[in-house]
Structure 1
Amino acid sequence: MANLQKLIDLDGLSYFLGQIKAKFVRSVNNIKPDSSGNINIANMTGATYNSSGKAGLAPIPAAGKQDMALCGDATYKVLPISGGGTGQTTVAGVRYVLGLGNTNGALPIANGGTGATTAEAARRNLGIDSIGVKLVIYT
């Protein structure tokens, strides 16, 4: 009965937790527990052109980096085009690097748009307002 009583005070719970850590945790990413059963994992190490990185905890992103990707070099940044991104942080910038034009209005026909801001003007600009189809407009 004395052993059960020991488990319900803080010292007993601390002892019990220590025993669980010592018996069940073997390693995490080849890091062995210390004498108290704790495993201390460092931040990841980024890869370079010549060397591989090392597994670890993700580094803490700085303020303003919340929308950026964690890259293999252990930094947060906008993905470059060569990495599958656009290298841009704004919609206008993305449109420009994708060759869609540097415009905030209607996308020009030359860049894959209609050059119009209404359906009627778009049909007219694309030459499909007179293809023999009667258009019914409901109001």
Structure 2
Amino acid sequence: MQPESRQRWSAETDKVLRDAGWRPGRKVSTVEWERTLADHGGFRIHPAAREFLAEFGGLEVGARGPGRTMAKLAFRLDPVAAEWDDEIFEVLSDEAGTYLFPIGEADRRNSYLGMAADGKVYIGMDTVSLFAADAEEALEKLVEGIQ
């Protein structure tokens, strides 16, 4: 994550995330998510996903409509959305060439969001693609509708 003194994202993204409950310095426990996903799917959280979820986990943005280069996608940053879909995440991880930990879902559960240990964010359900190089870019793309 980038230092708070720098602009992390656009004013629009900042407003949408704040309206969803995010604040600078926000910190929520990831223990229950980690336990649930380990018990029901054998998911192993890595530090990048833990750090992301501690700051953004539980946020939900329902805005849809036209974006800058694609439609804005509603999204929910709740890793338990993938609780019973460990097999899907195994396939997505294989396709991505790296282990992906679920961080949420987008487009009304039509796509999962997964994070690699290096912080890259992937999106997919039947196939996977690299969505963003880091969490800040992923959030901005989701909020503003950027492909």
Instruction: Give the TM-score of the pair, scaled to structure 2.
Output: 0.21
Greater RCO (CA < 8 Å, at least 6 residues apart): 2
Which structure's CA Rg is the greater one? 1
Please identify which structure carries the higher helix content.
2
Please identify which structure carries the higher strand content.
2
